[in-house]
Amino acid sequence: MAPPARLLIVSPVRNEAGHIEEVVAAMAGQTRPPDVWLVADDSSEDRTAEILRRLEPAVPFMRVVEIPDSRGTPSDRLAEALEAKAFNRALEQVDWGRYTHLGKLDGDIALPRDYFARLLSSFEADPRLGITGGSIVEPGRGGRWVRVGAPEHHVHGAMKLYSLECFRAVGGVQERLGWDTIDETYARMRGYSTRRRTDLVARHHRPGGSADGKLRGRARHGSCAYIARYGFPWALARSFKVAATCDPRGLSGVAFLWGYVRSAVRRGPRIDDPEFELFVRRELRGRVRAAFRWTRAGAASSQRPPSLTS
C-alpha cells in the first residue's frame, strides 16, 4: 500500500498586492490543502509582504519567507529566470525530500476548491504520471475570461505539480529561460507522462509573459523554442499559428519568429544534451505522423487534430 501523499507547494511572489488575498483565500478553501505552502516574497516593492504576514496566522499550512534579491531588478525578469531562481532558493529552506509531491504556484493564480484533491487522484490513478496541472483563463476584452490554449502534454509553468520521483529525475527546475518546457521534455525522456487537465480551470490575473508587453512575451517564447532545440521549420510553422490565434494578430507571429531567429543568430545557449535534442526531433516526427494519419482517416469534425506546432 502506497504511503499517504504529502504535498509541498512553493509560490515565489513579487508585487502581487492586487490579488494575493484572493489567491490565499482560494488556497485556504482547498478540499485537500497542501501540507506546507511556502510563500516566498522576492523583494516585493508593494504591500505583498505586509498582506501575507497579516493573513499567515489564519492559514495553518502557510509559511511566509523572504528571498533577498541582491541582483537588482532586471528589465526582463522572465528572461533572467528570476522566478525559477526564487523557487529554488525557497526550496532550499525545507527538507523537500520528505514530500511525495512538489508544486509551483504563482502568486497571481486563484485555484478551484478541489484542485489539489483531483490532481493527487490523477497521480494515484496513473503511476507513470510525472507532471500535471490545470488550465488557466486570463483577463480578456470586455471583462471576459479567456482560456489560454496549450497542448495537453504541456502544463503551464505558473501551476505545476510533480511527483517527487519525477522532480528528482528531471533535475528539478532549471534556472534558465524555457525551464517549464525543458522539465517536461526530460520527464517524457525518462519514462514519465506529462498531462494538463482541461477540467480544472484556474484564474490567472496577470497574462503570462506579458507584464512587460505582449510582443516582447511572444519574442521570449520564440527564444524558448530555440533553447529547447526545436528546429527552424517547426518555429516557422508555429509563427503562423501564433499570428493567426494570438493578439495582436499577425504581429505576434512575427515577434515569435524574431525571438527564435535572434537567438539563433546570436548563437545563444541551448540545451547541451545530444539525447535531449534527439528526443525532441523524435517527438516532433511522431506528431507529424499522427497528424498525417488523422488527415488520411478523415477524422470527424468534432475531434481535434493533433497539433504539429504545440
Structural domains in the chain, CATH included, are 7-204 (3.90.550.10), 213-310 (no CATH)
Is the pLDDT at 114 greater than 50? The verdict is: yes
Cβ-based burial of 233 (10 A; exposed 0-12, middle 13-18, buried ≥19): exposed
pTM of the model: 0.87
Summarised one tens digit per residue, pLDDT across range 222-236 is: 999 999 999 999 999
Predicted pLDDT of residue 306: 59
Q: How far apart are CA 69 and CA 59, in angstroms?
A: 26
Element (H, E) at 181: helix 179-189
Predicted pLDDT of residue 11: 97
| Mean pLDDT along residues 164-188 | 96
For all residues of the chain together, what is the average pLDDT? 89
Is the pLDDT at 74 greater than 60? The verdict is: no
Is the pLDDT at 304 greater than 90? The verdict is: no
Backbone torsions φ then ψ of 139, nearest 5 degrees:
-60, 130
